[in-house]
Chains A and B, each alone.
Chain A
Amino acid sequence: MANTLLSLAEKTFIVHGVDDNYRTDGRNRSEYRPMEVETKVLPHTSGSARLRLANTDILVGVKAEVDTPYPDNPNEGKLEFFVDCSANATPAFEGKGGDNLGTEISNTLTLAYQSSHVLDLTTLCILPQQKCWKLYVDVLILQCDGNLFDAVALAVKAALYSAQIPKVTTATLDGGKADIQLSDDPFDCVKLDVGSFPVLVTLCKNFTFIQIGENCVVDPTSEEEECSAASIVVAVMPNGRITSVVKTGYGSLQPSTLVKTLELAKDIGIKLNAGIMNALKEEDELGSQREIFGFLK
């Protein structure tokens, strides 16, 4: 990611390939690279997933904690994203090197999940003003080979899909003090309804040499990212609604191109959502006795 060095000739080659709708790895402009997803890789968390998109490697752990609601939203639970760029990905992330990128990704995720159409936070409330669930979604970036936003959002969705929150058996107010009891059975759990959770679609635009080109590329490799001046990260819900749009990079866009890009992002987002849900359902059908490979495969 940070150490992709390209010469002018290499960049020209990549950009001409994009123009001809035939990219350096043989894909067309709107094709994704193959990905692998596995859930429940971390047995000590409430939910977890590992996603590999080519060489991009993401590990997500979800932990649920009982917390007090915010005073201005007493009926709502909390959802917090944290993205850690591990130095394992590239030495540039050592120390505080990955903090900026991590914050950028976690802010984008927060924006994407902020809409009440996506996740109704009131479902995470246990006792108004007293107790609620706080979901910590912790993302660990282990390797990056382009398209971090899409990969992270897919992994987050998979991890939230596998998340199991303990059932609350009793929740009473005793003299103004909240008293809650969780179910003793570890399998007695509530699952989140991920049916409306968005995925992020990154569209790489404005390739350095083609100032007027309208071609945009989906699922860019790190080399393609290096050639692009601006990209748009769109959060698309499974029904095609867009919850957030973020533009990254230094380049600029014409308003008319933006509208076309959003249309394209919507179409791709719907397909991507369907794809990840299919994969997760397929994994579910293997049952609880399936072997968990994790990093040993």
Chain B
Amino acid sequence: MSGQDLVSDQGLRVDGRRANELRQIRVRMGVFGQSDGSAYLEQGNTKVLAAVYGPHQPRGGGRGGNRSGTGIINCQYSMAVFSFSAGERKKRPRGDRKTQETSLQLRRAIEAIVQVELYPRSQIDVFVEVLQSDGSDYCAAVNAATLALIDAGIPIKDYSVGCTATIASMGASEEVDSKDETGSGTGIVDANHMEECTGATTLTVVALPGAPGSNYESDTDNSGLVVVAQGTGARLHLSRLEGLRQRALQGCRDTRVILDQAVRFHLTTHDPHFI
């Protein structure tokens, strides 16, 4: 397996996963007593805490509050200074360009699912803290934030689920005949830090995968609305995009099933009246 390849000849990745295999997801909801909703989520070694406060009256009277007919979503994404796995230490937990941009992206992902029209003149705070970062941090943050919103009892339209698909930079710039692609897509799903660092091209997708329904079995069709899509790394040939998107969406659907199970488990163990 050369340095450029993400998948070995045997079809295995550096951590022994298959190309379309997610890392182990472990979830706990309601970790904090004081916030209105909270969740802790592990995707492999990426560990994230999310807390939700609200809906409440907007703070910062100087800005005139929120006079609009819909609620506002306020997000903050911050990374603990000891979160990097690779030994070095982060200078500041938040306020730098990268975390500010991620905060904004997180807001987009949350705004897509919260029914803001139910909360005029109000504000909902979503705070995410990355405790350990090992690739796909933003996706873990979105997933944890969704669970925290559910824990807070805020009505949502669907799960907002993030997933990445990564393709080695060697193949990314070559044209493929798009008719060859049959549904399952290309690239590897849910990359860890080591795979992200190989100079590969990563497509990050936040989607609303929809409940597993009639069209779920035939996942070749394009069910699932994409809310946030972001590419990083080297350039990507346009013909590769469709395959990568399909792979990421499949990852989102798989993640949704796991998150949904976790929510149902949480509700049944904590609420005896739940059937």
* Interface of A toward B, CB cutoff 8 Å: 42-45, 48, 55, 57, 59, 61, 63, 65, 82, 84, 86-91, 94-96, 136, 138, 140, 142-143, 145, 294-297
Contact = CB atoms under 8 A, between A and B. Distances in A.
B95 interface: yes
Contacts of B81: 61, 82, 84, 136, 138
A268 B192 CA distance: 47
Given A138-B81, A142-B49, A296-B26, A84 B93 contact: yes
B28 A88 contact: no
Which secondary structure dominates where chain A touches chain B?
loop
A87 B49 CA distance: 11
A91 B85 contact: no
Interface residues of B, number: 36
7 tightest A-B contacts by CB? A61-B82, A295-B40, A88-B51, A87-B127, A44-B85, A138-B81, A138-B82
B132 to A, nearest CB: 6
Contacts of A65: 88-89
Given A59-B131, A82-B81, A88-B127, A95 B32 contact: no
Contact of B53 (A63, A91, A96, A294): A91
Given A57-B32, A63-B87, A142-B32, 11 more contacts: A45-B82, A55-B32, A61-B80, A61-B81, A88-B35, A91-B125, A95-B94, A142-B49, A143-B35, A295-B28, A295-B40
A145 B34 contact: yes
12 contacts: A42-B132, A84-B80, A87-B51, A88-B129, A94-B74, A136-B89, A140-B80, A142-B32, A142-B49, A294-B47, A295-B31, A295-B49
Nearest to A60: B82
Contacts of A295: 28, 31, 40, 47, 49
Nearest to B77: A87
A271 to B, nearest CB: 27
A42 B31 CA distance: 17
Contacts of A91: 53, 59, 125, 127
